[in-house]
Amino acid sequence: MSRVCEICGKGPSVGNVVVRKGSPKYKGGIGLHTTGITKRRFLPNLQTVRATDGKGNTKRMTVCARCIKAGKVVKATKAAKKK
């Protein structure tokens, strides 16, 4: 399963994990020092949803939570399935 939203195309993005050592200055220390930086991936919140397309057919789609909240996806109901 690809990690891409079928509606908006949102996919994984990259960032860093920053490991710090020491006590912060506002707590009376000498400050935080970076001891390691490694790459990481931020994955989108994808959900598999039964949705209706424009023609009234039901199909499974992989959609991000933002598109579901925004109403860009019309979820299929059981009544629509029986027709």
Q: Does residue 83 carry a pLDDT above 70?
A: no
Q: Does residue 21 carry a pLDDT above 90?
A: yes
Give the structural domain span for 74: 13-82
Tell me whether residue 1 is in a domain.
no
Q: Domain tally for the chain? A: 1
The pLDDT tens digits of the residues spanning 25-81 come to: 999 999 999 999 999 999 999 999 999 987 888 999 999 999 999 999 988 887 655
pLDDT at 78: 73
Tell me whether residue 4 is in a domain.
no
Tell me whether residue 3 is in a domain.
no
Tell me whether residue 52 is in a domain.
yes
Cβ-based burial of 2 (10 A; exposed 0-12, middle 13-18, buried ≥19): exposed
Tell me whether residue 39 is in a domain.
yes
- Confirm whether pTM is higher than 0.75: no
**Nearest alpha carbon to residue 73 among 56, 43, 53:** 53
